[in-house]
């Protein structure tokens, strides 16, 4: 949608330049009195037209063709815009720290349960070297928690 609007702007510029060129060639045949009147009329028309900066500022705070609302580009960085930019990052970092703390607590709890199971059970020394022993202990803890 924006591409079409840009194309029409270019076409209007080209059409305006062509019209200006034709008017300029047509004014060569006019007398001095009429050409001076036309020059004064052009100056008045340019003075009555609002400056481009004001028109751009009005357009900058309006709804665009794709439905988005754009703010003024001259807004700059103020306290609220900085806060609004940093706030999502702070929330993300805070959430990640909470998740890390929760996972560390879960790991510590699992290790404590395994240590308690090792210290309270009577096991042969070969059981401690078995690679599946930790998994066996976890299954025993889950079964005992389900029975409670």
Distance of CA 46 to the CA centre of its chain: 40
| Tokens standing for residue 91 | 């929330």
Q: Largest Cα–Cα distance in the chain? A: 120
Global pTM reads 0.31
> Residue 68 in contact with residue 60, Cβ under 8 Å?
no
| Tokens standing for residue 44 | 């008045």
Residue 137 neighbours by CB distance under 10 Å: 20
pLDDT score for 73: 54
Domain boundaries, the chain: 77-148
pLDDT score for 87: 92
pLDDT score for 28: 74
pLDDT, averaged in runs of 10, over the chain (148 residues): 60 84 77 83 79 54 59 65 87 94 83 82 74 79 76
């Amino acid at each position: 949608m924006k591409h079409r609007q840009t194309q029409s702007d270019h076409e209007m510029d080209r059409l305006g330049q062509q019209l200006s060129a034709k008017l300029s060639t047509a004014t060569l045949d006019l007398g001095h009195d009429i050409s001076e009147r036309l020059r004064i009329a052009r100056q008045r028309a340019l003075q009555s037209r609002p400056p481009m900066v004001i028109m751009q500022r009005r357009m900058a705070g309006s709804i665009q063709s794709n439905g988005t609302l754009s703010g003024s580009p001259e807004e700059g960085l103020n306290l609220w815009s900085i806060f609004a930019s940093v706030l999502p990052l702070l929330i993300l970092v805070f959430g990640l720290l909470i998740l890390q703390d929760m996972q560390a607590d879960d790991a510590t709890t699992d290790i404590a349960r395994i240590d308690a199971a090792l210290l309270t059970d009577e096991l042969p020394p070969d059981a401690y070297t078995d690679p599946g022993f930790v998994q066996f202990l976890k299954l025993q803890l889950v079964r005992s928690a389900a029975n409670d």
